[in-house]
Amino acid sequence: MTRTWFITGTSSGLGLEMTKILLQHGDTVIATVRKADALSHLAAQYGKQLCVMQLDVTDTAQVRDVIDQAFALRPIDVIVNNAGYGLFGAAEELTDDQIIHQINTNIIGSIQVIRAALPHLRAQKHGRILQVSSEGGQISYPNFSLYHTTKWGIEGFVEAVRQEVSTFGIEFTIIEPGPTRTRFGAGLISPAPMDAYKHTAAHQVRNAIANGDFAIKGDAVKTAQAMINSVDVKPAPVRVTLGSTAYHSVHAALTERLHALEAQKDIAFSADGDEGLSQ
């Protein structure tokens, strides 16, 4: 079975790997990039099977226009909301402009892609949206506070929207890869470090990444293939966690969170009103 895919952020990383695998499989890909010639090598090889469109997801008007154009070409089976990057630094080190751009790209951009696609998916009465998040949508590392903000935020948005549109045949899956061998690390935006954080967990993480001590087990091609395979699963899984690092990290975080919740059961129930008390 072949499908038509709309994928944002395809010039590198998982978006590029997915695009290559899908084209080899015979699927049609509408791929968005910020630089017009980023996929010229694939366009020359695959012709009409690949449509490349220029898109900056921080430009909401452009998002709407590009998605309208994409659906005018043909029905789209799968939307892959992949565009994004990482902002790396202690919260106090980040500039206001860096914070705004991270939020505009990773969360508002993703939200607007979904909002722009929904009317088209409702009209065709089917479609799957893969929202690329991260293990960082369930756990957190020092120095990634704003990146985590966007991933935790977009997961909450998707959790709610999937319930709103399930009647229309629209399905969502949140993709949560762990550390994966892509150019994500090279693309990190990092402000100048502050001396005050030299002996903190933030500095330790900075050193681990700089020295190559941060374990990266995930394979980009295998991760991209697993993302593609998830579309064949019915009903759509709410989340797909990819990589052993992500599995162990998310499992530990959820277990700890559940234990903490259970320990506070009496406190939680103590906040209820007395039964029968008039409001």
Which active-site residues does the annotation give? 133, 147, 151
Q: Which helix (H) or strand (E) holds 2?
A: none
Alpha-carbon distance of 226 to 160, in angstroms, equals 24
128 - beta bridge partners? 78, 171
C-alpha pair distances (Å), 197 with each of 34, 95, 208, 228:
35, 16, 15, 41
Alpha-carbon distance of 205 to 209, in angstroms, equals 6
80 - beta bridge partners? 7, 130
Alpha-carbon distance of 250 to 271, in angstroms, equals 30
**CB neighbour list of residue 103: distance below 8 Å, 6 or more residues apart:** 146, 149, 150
